[in-house]
Structure 1
Amino acid sequence: MLTIDTSLAQDIVQRTMHIMPFKVNVIDVRGVILASGSPERIGDLHPGAQLALARRDSVEIDAIAASKLPGAKPGINLPLMLRGEICGVVGLTGEPEAVRQFGALVRVMAEMMLEQAQLVRELQHEKRYREEFLFQLVYRTGIPDASMQAWAARLALDLRLARAMFVLEVQDFGERLEQVLGELQQVQAALAQRWPELLTAVVSPGELVILEAFPVAGPQQPRAALAQKRLVELQQVAQSSLQSPCTLAMGVALPGLDGATASYQSAKQTARVGRSRNTTGEQQVFSYLDLSLPVLLSGLQDGWQAEQLRQTLSRLLQHDRKSGALMRTLAAWFRNHSHATATAKALHIHRNTLDYRLQKIAELTGLDLDDTDDRLLLYVALQLN
């Protein structure tokens, strides 16, 4: 059953009494006055409204009828309709001949305000519904998959499509939790206005997640460029509402419920890896497509395998601890796809200097840089360093 809340009833009374010189009452479906131009009547039963509710039609009460009906006053009482249902009554106090001309106008105004309020409630409910679904995708609190699938269908979400999770994290907000929460809600509103189809939710203090379809077919490079473009677009909108520094990371795009959860986890890990490599603090957006290998390898950080891989670089790191020249050379060499000329140019060194450094790296690690397996081992160890 559709109902009228007290705040809305008072708003109706105030607005309608601006256009007419008579007292207005708003009554609920029980016949109880919710708001009135005569505040002392609030909470009383309204006999005229009860008659209008019983008859499902307008009721006029003149002075003679009012004298015979305990608690009644002269006036007209008009049922308020919302979505085909009676949700209350609006009453105008005064002789029917005097107030009748205002009745239709007041009812139209009241019903328009009721419709608007109902739309706002529905939009807010839909927003909460979408946010809760996204929260469940992130944390998977035990709701059965069948229920989650029905939930997705209610949101017209095709689970067969691959989707990527974006995670916006506010950094170092300390005691400004309330302020940051307000800023994130502003980001949500800005994103919804620009891209209404986006699913967004604040899932923890300082953290907003976004779920969006993303292509998985085709060459890696164009998709990586598309991901960067999308990250920048979203970040620009977010920064317009945020006063706090933040990072935005995109996870791997996968289909299904479990895929969305995995995408969130990969986005969080992408952010951690990206921030650890961003020594200058200038980069604010990170994509799984750009950092897939170090993100995947990050799961090895605590295992015996990682320790063995780190041993690969132990002598090199010890030798290089002062200048760091060999480690920079190795990183540049891999970054330039093992092309000697491009590497020397990037490092601003002579080709002979590069050859000497690469020879020294091979000597210290005991690996053959021309051997594919040794080269891969060295690259993985460098990623874990």
Structure 2
Amino acid sequence: MLIPELAEKIVKEVRKLIGEDIIVVNNEGYIIASTDLERVGTFHEGALIASQQKRKLIITIEDQTKLIGVKAGINFPIFFQNNVIGVIGITGDPTTVTPFGEIIRKMTELLISENYYAEQFDWHSRALESFVMDWVQAKDWNEAFMNRARLLNIDMEIKRAAVIIEFSGLTSPITREAWSSIFKKFQKNDKEVVARSGNERIILLINCTKGASRERIETRLKQFFLFLSDNFNIHASAGVGQPADPKEIKVSYSQAERCLKIVKSPSSIAFDEDLTLEMLLEEISQKTKADFIKRTLGPLIQENELIGTIKELFKQNHSLKNTAKNLHIHINTLHYRLKKADELTGLNSNNIHDLLTMYLAILFLDEQTKTNQ
């Protein structure tokens, strides 16, 4: 529990409050951290007595000749959960350093407590992340897998919907304190699972046994996005899969991933039940998509103006008037650009087959651009 790394941190923090030498001693009486590096690893009989008797021990100048390895000062046992886990000592005139003693001990015990709960949080987060990833990847439900579920207090018999929340615009890793707040904000009960996935994603497995309607899920996600933005300046989007039985959660997770790929902007939420064309496009391999782009829009890849014009045409539902207006060009200029694009590609933007071909190519190109960013 009281490892040298933590003891060194304690010495460093305590030294900010008092200019005297500080030592941290384990329950066997050996100094594991000190402002005087030469004392590290040496035996301190006074600290051993303080640890065994669970009381502070003032060491006088006279005691230096009676006890092994001591210097005048004061030693305090460090308590954690009612047990002595070590001793902190302050070297100096006892009458001078004693008034600081209780403050130093309380600060030390607080640092140890914070470190303990931080380690517990990190362990639980890593264990939960690992378990959830195994679960959504359809790992066999063997005895070891089920034991992990019980250890993490996860009910493996209820229907859930998978939600993947992805952060955008992060400039630095999210702190432990922020992750703790994020988990507490979303997890409403022990029937729901909230796990991080790297530094930029959260996986939610929402309890659907009591009818977690689309409206309720959407409301909760929007409130959560607002919380992230207001408290941590984090922007996020989400993909939501459909409810699935525990052993089919992989299906819901795959649906959520598919939804996330089509989300257009931060704070957007995509539900699998809304997907139509996207269901088919997701099944097409990346190589096939790349070949399709080359065969259709290949001659236009370096023509940014023409590509932008075609994108705007689709954005405006093929309204020439609105496309020209949004591009701030004359309608004749738009006709010229579209004619040039038709000539270069061999496609006819007025033919429904060619128009669909061009639309699919633009979708694949946007996806390719997003992936390469």
TM bucket, shorter chain: 0.5 to 0.7
Q: Quote the sequence identity (%).
A: 21
Provide the TM-score with structure 1 as the length reference.
0.58
CA positional deviation for 1:82? 0.9
CA distance in 1, matches of 2:90, 2:233: 48
Q: Which residue of 1 aligns with 2:253?
A: 264
For structure 2, which runs of at least 5 residues remain unmatched after alignment? Answer: 286-312, 318-351, 353-373
* Residue 62 of structure 2 corresponds to residue 64 of structure 1: yes
CA distance in 1, matches of 2:51, 2:90: 15
* 1:196 to 1:29, Cα distance in 2 relative to 1, 3 A: farther
CA positional deviation for 1:36? 3.4
Of 200, 206, 213, the residue aligned with 1:223 is 213
* Residue 283 of structure 2 corresponds to residue 290 of structure 1: no
Contact 2:161/2:208, CA 8 A, preserved across alignment:
no
3-state SS, counterpart of residue 164 of structure 1 = strand
CA distance in 2, matches of 1:58, 1:81: 12
Q: Which residue of 1 aligns with 2:173?
A: 182
Equivalent residues, number:
286
Letter in 1 for 2:10: A
Contact 1:13/1:36, CA 8 A, preserved across alignment:
no
CA distance in 1, matches of 2:220, 2:3: 43
CA positional deviation for 1:199? 0.6
* Residue 144 of structure 2 corresponds to residue 147 of structure 1: yes
Of 88, 91, 112, the residue aligned with 2:89 is 91
Q: Which residue of 1 aligns with 2:203?
A: 210
Contact 2:59/2:71, CA 8 A, preserved across alignment:
yes
Shifted more, 230-239 versus 146-155: the winner is 230-239
For structure 1, which runs of at least 5 residues remain unmatched after alignment? Answer: 174-178, 303-323, 329-363, 365-385
CA positional deviation for 1:251? 0.7
String of CA shifts for 1:339-385, please: whole Å, max 9, x gaps.
xxxxxxxxxxxxxxxxxxxxxxxxx9xxxxxxxxxxxxxxxxxxxxx
String of CA shifts for 1:92-125, please: whole Å, max 9, x gaps.
3235555455444433332233223322322232
Provide the TM-score with structure 2 as the length reference.
0.60
Q: How does 1:325-364 map to 2 (within 5 A)?
A: none
CA distance in 1, matches of 2:141, 2:163: 24
CA distance in 1, matches of 2:94, 2:88: 14
Letter in 2 for 1:61: I
CA distance in 1, matches of 2:255, 2:90: 62
Q: Which residue of 2 aligns with 1:333?
A: none
* Residue 246 of structure 2 corresponds to residue 253 of structure 1: no
* Residue 233 of structure 2 corresponds to residue 232 of structure 1: no
3-state SS, counterpart of residue 182 of structure 1 = coil
Shifted more, 43-52 versus 222-231: the winner is 222-231
CA distance in 2, matches of 1:59, 1:228: 61
Q: Which residue of 2 aligns with 1:123?
A: 121
String of CA shifts for 1:130-176, please: whole Å, max 9, x gaps.
22222322335x575433333333333322332222123468x9xxx
3-state SS, counterpart of residue 173 of structure 2 = helix
CA distance in 2, matches of 1:86, 1:236: 45
Q: Which residue of 2 aligns with 1:36?
A: 34
Contact 1:216/1:253, CA 8 A, preserved across alignment:
no
